[in-house]
Amino acid sequence: MGNFVANLKEGKSKFVLNIVVAPLFLLPFLWVVSTSLKKASDITSYPPKWIPSEFTLENYSEIFHIEGGSFLLFITNSVILTVCTVIVVILVGALAGYGISKLNIPFKNVIMTLILITLMIPFHGLLIPLFSIMKDLNLMNTHLALVLVYVTFQLPFSVFMLKNSFDSLPSSLREAAMIDGSSEFQNFFKISLPLVWPGLATVAIFSAYTTWNDFLIALVFANSQDMRTLNVGLTNMAIGQYGTDWGLLSAGAIISFIPIIILFLFLQKYFISGLTSGAVK
């Protein structure tokens, strides 16, 4: 009884702490929302105003009309890159994770160690070599170049995550399927893959979030107007020679925030279990 009361008090104290702390983390987001709904006079007013004197959607309307509607092109580029990257990362990562986890391949521990080592290589240290490779292959300012670079940096984590997910599946399941005449590919696609949805969802969220929010890679490998992604294009639109249009920048940030939130809401029930898959056997 004493332990129950102690746990109940601890739970209440954590709940109260969350109620107090959560608004502090929401303040920057709420300020961006407020700024996106302000007129220019309110944005530059002093002291700053949390609540606009007059709410307006001018910033949201303007962002879709300036520069000939380029913002829609930037969104399209980001969507194409994100979808292609997620598909490739999941497919290749799942095949590699399954092979390392379930197949009797030589030096699998060495291979996994090398994959983990790549996670320790500084991201910025590879940009110049990759830039030279893409330039020599005439792939600069193409979707293919960006997808290849994104996949390069995301695959090690994806293989590690999905290998842990496949490790959590009992080996007897694969053996029984093989005895029943199932091929290795049938076992992978029809039996094993549907059972690791939490891991796949985790990899999908990680890959989509990383690709969608990227700025540096898109800036380096795609500097033409037609190939700019959402973040690069929005920065060039809102930050000019004579100052920053904070209303425009805030409106674009809110719009770019929506797709990732929708994705997470659909996959959140798999996310936590995916992160912990393979942790306990």
CA distance 128 to 100: 31
- The pLDDT of residue 17: 75
Output the pTM of the full model: 0.83
Distance, in Å, from the CA atom of 43 to the CA atom of 212, rounded to the nearest integer, reads: 27
- pLDDT for 146: 94
- Output phi, psi for 146, to 5 deg: -65, -40
Decide: 276 and 161 in contact? Cβ < 8 Å.
Answer: no
Taking the C-alpha atoms of residue 37 and residue 58, their distance in angstroms, rounded to an integer, is 8
Kindly report the three-state secondary structure assignment for every residue of the chain: CHHHHHHHHHHHHHHHHHHHHHHHHHHHHHHHHHHHCCCHHHHCCCCCCCCCCCCCCHHHHHHCCHHHCHHHHHHHHHHHHHHHHHHHHHHHHHHHHHHHHHCCCCCHHHHHHHHHHHCCCCHHHHHHHHHHHHHHCCCCCCHHHHHHHHHHHHHHHHHHHHHHHHHCCCHHHHHHHHHCCCCHHHHHHHHHHHHHHHHHHHHHHHHHHHHHCCCHHHHHHCCCHHHCCHHHHHHHHHEECCEECHHHHHHHHHHHHHHHHHHHHHHHHHHHHHHHCCCCC
What is the model's pLDDT at position 199? 87
Q: Crossing angle of helices 70-102/108-118, nearest 10°?
A: 150
Query: In tens digits, what is the pLDDT along the chain, a chain of 281 residues?
Result: 445 444 445 556 667 777 777 778 888 888 888 888 888 888 888 888 888 888 888 889 888 888 788 899 999 999 999 999 999 999 999 999 988 888 888 888 888 888 888 888 888 888 888 999 999 999 999 999 999 999 999 999 999 989 988 888 888 877 787 777 777 888 888 888 888 888 898 899 889 999 999 999 999 998 888 899 999 998 888 876 556 788 888 899 999 988 888 888 877 766 665 555 544 44
pLDDT at position 242? 57
Cα 181 to Cα 50: distance, rounded to the nearest angstrom: 66
User: Tokens 């936590």 identify what position?
Assistant: 272
d(CA 232, CA 224): 11
Residues 218 and 153: their CA atoms lie apart, in Å, by: 13
**Domains of the chain, with CATH numbers?**
2-56 (no CATH), 67-276 (1.10.3720.10)
Sequence-ordered list of residues with C-beta below 8 angstroms from that of 93, at least 6 positions apart, any chain: 155, 158, 159, 161, 162, 203
